Amino acid sequence: MHSSFHRLALAALLAGSASFAPLLGAGAAARTTADTTAPVTAAWSVGAVVALTAAPRIPTAPKSSAPPPAAPTVTHGMLAAETAGTGNYGQPLISGCTWATWVTKCQNLTAYGNGSSFDDVGCGTPFGCEFGPEFQCTQLALRYAYYAWGEPATWGGQAYSMWSAGPTLPIPLQQFANGAGVAPAQGDLMIFAPGWLGRYWDGSGHVAIVRDVGPGYVDLVEQNATSSGTDRFPLNGSLVTANGYTPIIGWLRQTEQTPAELTASTVAGTPQSVSDQPGDMDVIWRGTDAKLHDIAYRSEAWQAAGLAVSTADVASDPAVVSPTPGQVDAFWEDGTGNLWQVQSQTGYFGSESWLTPQELQTGLAPGSAPTAVSQGPGEMEVIWKSVDGQLWVNTFTGTWSGATPLNSGPVQGNPNAVATADGTVGVVWRDAAGNLWSDLSSAYGWYGAHEIGTGGLASDPTVVTAGVGNVDAIWRTRTGSVWAAGVTPNGGPGQVEVDATVSMGRPAAAGTAASAVTVVMQRANGSLAAAVYDPHNGWVGPEQLNQVAASSQLSAVSWYSNAVAAFWQGSGNSLWWSAACDGCAAHPPPVYNPAP
């Protein structure tokens, strides 16, 4: 880890040496030189969700310079280890399975002491030099990345340079700068810059592993830093303070999820997803047999796969909605342009029964997929493109009101709608010229169609709610980038680019209980990525989710707290799903709280 320590008496002599690494302040990016990779922007603030117009704030790389003046002396952290040591050389300090409970081969992640000098190195048991010089801080971090994520056994060089190396790995690691809006999470690698430790200049920096995060604190496991192999830092929002250490650059996170196949060969079109209550999900799709099929997630497990809930002649992807806990409704178009509905009821122990489908409406445009929302408990609205090329709506408030035109003008493709917590309904669509349009309704009726943007849409837009009354439209442009704009009764504010990387198909989006938005995108190679908008911190990502190629467009659902799941059709008409944001596992490892 710390391959070279220089006493203050040598600092003046060597201040001009190019071998000195620059100090990286909290929240700064790693230096960029000919042999390093420029850091990826982790997050930026763009203001309120309905005004996503501000330019991104990109951490700037520091300029090379001589070591700064030494910091005031403190009495803990690595500074204390200068006199107290880092534990007897080779002595186990904390066993891997005590702290890395989420790693299958946690027995390989024991932290060891490195003796009285930070510079002690060797290649003995149990790992030799497979992960670099033994008992250095980098050796534990490399072991962790190898066993937890499948990364190479060695990468990054010195500790501080792991920051710029992380995004270039076979499984890329996402950078989150200290204090830039995203707090560390369990399993992150925390990277420290070169800097002063009292009278000593540490030119290598440091790396540690985040053991857990709690209210106002971050716990770490590390080698070659403290005699216990652990430490705790104060956490204020996304800013970590590490007294007795060199400055924190930020943390690296492995964001790829492990997708799972749910059914093997029954899916045609795009599967649609809905959550009727926290922890439950239904995925409903048009099957290769032209019937509607459902699979339910109940009691922390997927139920019987592929249950047929309709007769044949399903001609569109379904629209799915839950107007009340325990109830799911699906709507679709048949082969003659009629609108149908089927409803499920959840019984004891998560059992689900489907009622007989009923015909609601005639006159849908051929090949048009409806969209449906619940604007209040027990209430629903279904919206579709009719044979006249315009949007129509039917409202359920105990009984169906009958079809009513929305005076949308000609519609290209299919509409998409969402309902907010205050009962506002927003619907978005595009016209033949690729312009984005919207309409909002309240208890007083619909406000009327408004054009949000001029030209550029290459996909049908997606609409998502972000908070009590905020509505946002997401779409893919003709150049492949993904953009967003707020929706208001008068149209919408300026637009902001979510992701410049080329995507295909229509992006999917879901809002969470934290008033955040997750946007899931399909890359040109079929793999999935996600960007997250937080109302306090702005856009984060995009993050690569997986490398499994999707054969259809996507759907996404918020199914509890901040958890978002994505669903898609894979090769051979299979059904796949994956968590759509880092940290979305339903049951994360318990937080460790050391005794005082």
376-405 average pLDDT score? 93
What's the chain's average pLDDT? Answer: 79
CA 211 to chain centre: 20
Residue-level pLDDT at 539: 76
Task: Write out pLDDT tens, residues 4-22.
Answer: 333 232 222 222 222 222 2
Mean of pLDDT values over 111-126: 75
Closest residue by Cα to residue 560 from 185, 262, 214, 275: 275
Do the domains 282-507 and 5-28+73-254 match in fold? no
In Å, what is the CA distance from 17 to each residue of 1, 22, 45, 229?
A: 20, 11, 38, 33
Q: Please report which helix (H) or strand (E) contains residue 208, including its range.
A: strand 206-214
Burial 260-288 (b: 16+ CB within 10 A, else e): eebbeebbbbbbbbbbbeeebbbbbbbbe
The label of the residue with tokens 């359920």 reads 396
pLDDT (0 to 100) of residue 339:
93
- Name the maximum alpha-carbon separation found in the chain: 87
Stretch 318-343: mean pLDDT: 94
Q: Across-strand partners of 439? A: 427
Task: For the chain, count helices (H), then strands (E).
Answer: 5, 44
415 token code pair: 């509409």
- Residue 585 predicted with pLDDT over 60: no
pLDDT at 19: 27
* Number of other residues whose CB lies within 10 A of the CB of residue 407: 12
Mention the CATH class of domain 282-507.
Answer: mainly beta
What number is the average pLDDT over the span 210-237? 91
* DSSP letters spanning 339-366: EEEEEEEE-GGG-EEE---EEEE--BPT
212-216 mean pLDDT = 88
Query: Which DSSP symbol is given to 147?
Result: I
283-286: Cβ within 8 A, 24+ apart = 283/555, 283/567, 283/575, 283/577, 284/309, 284/318, 284/320, 284/328, 284/330, 285/317, 285/318, 285/569, 285/575, 286/314, 286/315, 286/316, 286/317, 286/318, 286/332
Point out the least confidently predicted range of 105-109, 130-134, 372-376, 511-515: 511-515
Q: Range with the lowest mean pLDDT among 23-27, 408-412, 440-444?
A: 23-27
What are the phi and psi torsion angles at 107 (to 5°)?
A: -65, -15
The reported pLDDT for the residue numbered 266 is 87
The closest of 298, 282, 287 to 264, measured between CA atoms, is 287
Give the confidence band of 497 by pLDDT, cuts at 50, 70, 90.
Answer: confident
Does residue 442 or residue 434 have the better pLDDT? 434
Q: How many CB atoms lie within 10 A of CB 12?
A: 10
Per-residue confidence (pLDDT) for residue 511, from 0 to 100: 87
Is the pLDDT confidence value at 291 over 80? yes
- % of the chain at pLDDT higher than 90: 40
Summarize pLDDT for 77-103 with one digit per residue, the tens: 676 666 666 778 888 999 999 999 888
Could you tell me the two tokens for 345? 């009821």
Position with higher pLDDT, 47 vs 547: 547
Six token digits for residue 116: 């009285």
Per-residue model confidence (pLDDT) at position 471: 87
Q: What is the pLDDT of residue 439?
A: 93
DSSP 533: E
At 340, the amino acid letter reads W
Distance of CA 197 to the CA centre of its chain: 36
Among 40-44, 193-197, 275-279, 383-387, which is the least confidently predicted range?
A: 40-44
Each domain of the chain, given as residue ranges in start order, spans 5-28+73-254, 282-507
pLDDT score, position 481: 92
Residue (of 122, 283, 252, 120) closest to 175 by Cα position: 252
Q: Residue 573: is its pLDDT beyond 50?
A: yes
**Thinking of the domain 5-28+73-254, which architecture would CATH place it in?**
Alpha-Beta Complex (3.90)
pLDDT reading at 23 higher than 80: no
Residue 218: pLDDT band with limits 50, 70, 90 = very high
The per-residue pLDDT for range 452-473, each reduced to its tens digit, is 876 789 999 999 987 777 888 9
User: Average pLDDT of 349-375?
Assistant: 86
Tell me the two tokens of residue 433. 């010229």
At residue 333 the predicted structure's pLDDT band, cuts being 50, 70 and 90, is very high
Range of 7-11, 117-121, 265-269 with top mean pLDDT = 265-269
Return the beta strands (E) in 99-172 as ranges: 111-112
Prediction pTM value? 0.67
Do 486 and 492 contact (CB within 8 A), yes or no? yes
Identify the pLDDT of residue 284. 93
